[in-house]
Amino acid sequence: MRKLFILLLCCCAFNVAKAQEDDAPETTTENEEQSAKDQDHTQFLRLKRNYQLGDGLTLESSKMRLNFTQSLQLLNGMSTLDKFKNTSPQFDIRRARFNFRGFLFNDKVYFRLRLNLAGNFQSTTTGTRSFNNTLQDALIEYRPSTNHRFNFGVRADYADTREARIEGESLGFIERSAVSTAFDPIFDYGIRYYGTIKAGGSNILKPYVSVTTGDGTAALQKNYGGFKYGVRLDWLPFGTFSKGGEYYMDDLARERVPKLIVGVTFSYTDGISSAKGTNGGRYIYGDSAANELLPDYLKAGFDFMFKYRGWYAFGEYVYAHATVPSGIAGEFNLSGKFTPYTGQTPEQIKATVLNRINLGSGVNIQGGYCFGKWACAARYSQLYNDTYSANFADQNRYYSFVGTRYFREHDLKLNIEAGYQEYKENLKTSDVKGNIYGQVMFTIQF
């Protein structure tokens, strides 16, 4: 296996089609040459004469096309809580991904597998309940036409914020906003539909429907509670973005006419067992007979993206609410043992349950300008956590500025970001009012 992986890496210098998010428009490669043919003169391997970063390795026949790509993001940073009296350095492999995708039967069937090989994540979940942070995509998709797609498996959920729809290598900032961090589980297992409807003139509607576990990749072991039901509706009044521009931030295509996408989302989880649906099974409750009983979770949002002549504006709002069923009388620990609540009123039990879920709302606004190979952008995010919510918003105001040098679009770039994360008023002290940070990240895809 190791030898095969090394061989694939070596072959990347001679490859063809670039891997993209499956929602983005497919591109065709030109200036290719056939390297071999079988006896029936069927092309089964194409090598690109002028390899470009991000093209990956592609094997192609008359009935199948396979593509392998890799990406690497190296992050260095520094932060301080006390006006630089003490600093905390950060050295991290943010992402080290291996991507594999393929097409069968004249592109009617699409499949994708993605692994994040940066395995330095330690889950807070122990015992028999854990979730796989390495597996990020594993899906099969049927495309009966260019306007309708059905997929089954693990991928980023349609009902999350628009930021969650953008690959980490294509973000305008080094990380997603605090809003996405607080409310997006991102990866989940389920079945989904995605469509494109021409609504007259240049108007385009994109409906999304999903039924997922609501437990993230932890559901690969067991699904706790019921299912998560999600919908998204996107409206593009001026037609599609150039070069898949709705799936990355900076306006690298420099849209010649204004482009806008506006979306609304809604999801309902019938029994949530984690803070936001990422690692299901973290919190399991039961009634007096030790039968599983979980709270329900509702999330709604609005987002938009606008691009024109190098400028872009982006915004999103998320609201999350939970309902606690009557009858919860105790909880299961991570080993599965049921412990009854003793001496607690129903109101105290409700507060305990809600205190473990991310509830409240968040707003994120950002914008920037791209000129040539350089881009700059600014972002403001604010979180409002519910009274009983988990403490995900101790730092509730975020200010960020980023400068990006594009050497080869998102396939080779350097991000330099600085920002300030402000504490809530009741948590500020004379010495500590917030966190000042700076980060540098290098991205390469090949």
For the ranges 32-36, 39-43, 409-413, the lowest mean pLDDT is seen at: 32-36
pLDDT by residue (tens digit) across 321-334? 999 999 999 999 88
What is d(CA 231, CA 268) in angstroms, rounded to the nearest whole number? 9
Instruction: Calculate what percentage of the chain has a pLDDT beyond 70.
Output: 85
pLDDT by residue (tens digit) across 361-388? 999 999 999 998 999 999 999 999 998 8
Give residue 38's pLDDT band: very low, low, confident or very high (50, 70, 90). Answer: very low
Please tell me the predicted confidence (pLDDT) of residue 48.
52
Read off the pLDDT of each residue in 155-173 and give the average, rounded to a whole number.
93
Please tell me the predicted confidence (pLDDT) of residue 132.
59
For the ranges 1-10, 38-47, 144-153, 323-332, the lowest mean pLDDT is seen at: 1-10
Residue 435 CA from chain centroid, whole number: 25
Read off the pLDDT of each residue in 70-87 and give the average, rounded to a whole number.
84
Read off the pLDDT of each residue in 123-151 and give the average, rounded to a whole number.
77
Instruction: Using the predicted structure, report yes or no on whether residue 208 has a pLDDT greater than 60.
Output: yes
Give residue 313's pLDDT band: very low, low, confident or very high (50, 70, 90). Answer: very high
Total domains in the chain come to 1
Please tell me the predicted confidence (pLDDT) of residue 89.
86
- How much is the mean pLDDT over the chain? 85
Read off the pLDDT of each residue in 194-221 and give the average, rounded to a whole number.
92
pLDDT: which is higher, 19 or 388? 388
Instruction: Using the predicted structure, report yes or no on whether residue 215 has a pLDDT greater than 80.
Output: yes
Give residue 19's pLDDT band: very low, low, confident or very high (50, 70, 90). Answer: very low
Please tell me the predicted confidence (pLDDT) of residue 124.
45
Count the neighbouring beta carbons within 10 Å of the beta carbon of residue 85. Answer: 8
Read off the pLDDT of each residue in 422-426 and give the average, rounded to a whole number.
89
Label the pairing between strands 204-212 and 187-195: antiparallel
**CATH code at 432?**
2.40.160.10
Domain hosting 152: range is 2-445
Report the predicted TM-score, pTM, of the whole model to 2 decimal places: 0.85
pLDDT by residue (tens digit) across 223-233? 888 999 999 99
pLDDT by residue (tens digit) across 432-446? 889 999 999 999 998
Please tell me the predicted confidence (pLDDT) of residue 12.
38
Instruction: Using the predicted structure, report yes or no on whether residue 53 has a pLDDT greater than 90.
Output: no
